[in-house]
Structure 1
Amino acid sequence: MSTHAVLELRQYTLRPGQRERLVGLFEREFVESQEALGMRLPGQFRDLDDPDRFVWLRSFQDMTTRAASLAAFYEGPVWRAHREAANATMLDSDDVLLLRPAQAFALEGMARPAAGERAPAGLLTATICPAPPADLAALARSFDAQVRPVLERLGAPVLAQFVTEPARNTFARLPVREGESVFVWFAAFADAGALVHHQAAAALDPIVGA
């Protein structure tokens, strides 16, 4: 399986009460149809703090194939057939960070639940840390060497780490957040209780609690 070097972190603000409608449409129509065009969708998530927010991830081999894959999808028959229904659920879909991996998700061997089957219970957090572009590489190294071991000892398995992809947006039809520089890391928890327990322990740690 080839490496995907570009990730979109997409956060959508939806019309009140429309999230489950979009989730159903997304899972039924938009996952396999995008992956058939060379994209990957590592995950789709309900924001637990906001019932009208939907978050999802989409990755590409590089910026050139990103442009070609997005053009093929958004000019193709699946999006044409369902775009009005999808867009009717949304207030804003432009909150998008374009990222590249410092440590990518390990997806090989993982199977997506079948249609209609619920995904295993769990919770994912995404921590977004602004930093100057010149500091991103050093920040990623420092995080991996000093912070990650502490987080994992305190019950927060780190799944992946990303930094801003500085290349120009190659598909202007879909805006991204430009002029920002961030380090992002993802962690997994069994449930909300495990997250609360981790946060309490982390607050007391001299390295991650500052």
Structure 2
Amino acid sequence: MTIVELRQYTLHPGARDTLIELFEREFVTGQEAAGITVGARFRDLDDPDRFVWLRSFPDMAQRARALHVFYGGPVWQAHREEANATMADSDDVLLLSGPGFPAPSDAGPVVATLCHPTDPDAFAPHVERYVRGDLPPGTPRPQALHRTEHAENTYPTLPVRTGEDVLLWFTQGKTAPVAPDVVARHLKRAPQQLRLAPVHHIT
């Protein structure tokens, strides 16, 4: 397991493609050079002004070091004003423990399902049994199960969401199974599902 950030940016109207072009050209390799693993990047299919992406780190100490290197380094310093100009809000960030999620090889649609269980430890076995195991034949299988990481934020310059427990997984395809009643009764509210389109790598 690694430390994963799920980052959801609300952008100014019409600015998403500008940020994506900059991100793919400068920030993927720039972050990787600092020791950050950049995961999948997505356009939100239901919000034209939302950009969703993931990055991961071996542990919280390495997260602090890598973020310090990147945000203090030449790539971010050269392009931060251009990037920040596209963003209305960049603080919707979940700090998670899990395997991360790379960009799908076929670049097809993906659904991210976020659940807020009343008891995360009791809920995890239900996810394994009813969401991963007991699905009709041909139903897309959830992948990359993540849960909230409650460690102290080691890079407080960038805020993360606190005070909540989330279980999250990804499903490839335009739709994903909704949690059945036996799972839903363990949730504080209905699951949130993000319909996402992977960003194609710019060559």
Q: TM-score normalized by structure 2? A: 0.82
Instruction: Find the residue that maps to 1:125 and give its secondary structure.
Output: strand
Does 2:185 correspond to 1:188? no
Show structure 2 runs of 5+ residues with no match: 186-203
Instruction: Find the residue that maps to 2:134 and give its secondary structure.
Output: helix
Corresponding residue number in structure 2 for 1:116: none
Q: Tell me the distance in 1 between the aligned counterparts of 2:59 and 2:107.
A: 32
Cα distance, 1:22 vs structure 2? 0.4
Q: Tell me the distance in 1 between the aligned counterparts of 2:14 and 2:137.
A: 38
Corresponding residue number in structure 2 for 1:71: 68
Corresponding residue to 1:43 among 13, 26, 40? 40
CA gap of 1:161–1:23, structure 2 versus 1, over 3 A, is same
Answer whether contact 2:39 2:101 (CA < 8 A) is retained. Answer: no
CA gap of 1:179–1:17, structure 2 versus 1, over 3 A, is same
Answer whether contact 1:43 1:57 (CA < 8 A) is retained. Answer: yes
Corresponding residue to 1:125 among 78, 99, 111? 111
Answer whether contact 1:152 1:158 (CA < 8 A) is retained. Answer: no
Instruction: Find the residue that maps to 1:84 and give its secondary structure.
Output: helix
Q: For this pair of structures, how many residues does the alignment match?
A: 185
Q: Tell me the distance in 2 between the aligned counterparts of 1:139 and 1:25.
A: 39
Give the aligned residue type for 2:49: D
Corresponding residue to 1:94 among 71, 82, 91? 91
Corresponding residue number in structure 1 for 2:132: 148
Q: Greater relative contact order (Cα 8 A, min sep 6): structure 1 or 2?
A: 2
Corresponding residue number in structure 2 for 1:161: 145
Does 2:188 correspond to 1:176? no
Higher-helix-fraction structure? 1
Corresponding residue to 1:17 among 14, 18, 30? 14
Q: TM-score normalized by structure 1? A: 0.80
Q: Tell me the distance in 2 between the aligned counterparts of 1:151 and 1:70.
A: 40
Percent of pairs with identical residues:
51
Answer whether contact 1:147 1:207 (CA < 8 A) is retained. Answer: no
Give the aligned residue type for 1:82: H
Instruction: Find the residue that maps to 1:41 and give its secondary structure.
Output: strand
Answer whether contact 1:9 1:98 (CA < 8 A) is retained. Answer: yes
Cα distance, 1:152 vs structure 2? 6.7
Q: Tell me the distance in 2 between the aligned counterparts of 1:65 and 1:40.
A: 11
Does 2:16 correspond to 1:30? no
Give the aligned residue type for 2:127: F
Q: Tell me the distance in 1 between the aligned counterparts of 2:181 and 2:35.
A: 44
Show structure 1 runs of 5+ residues with no match: 114-118
Cα distance, 1:209 vs structure 2? 8.6
Corresponding residue number in structure 1 for 2:201: none
1:85-104 deviation line (CA, Å, top 9, x unaligned):
00000000000000002xx2
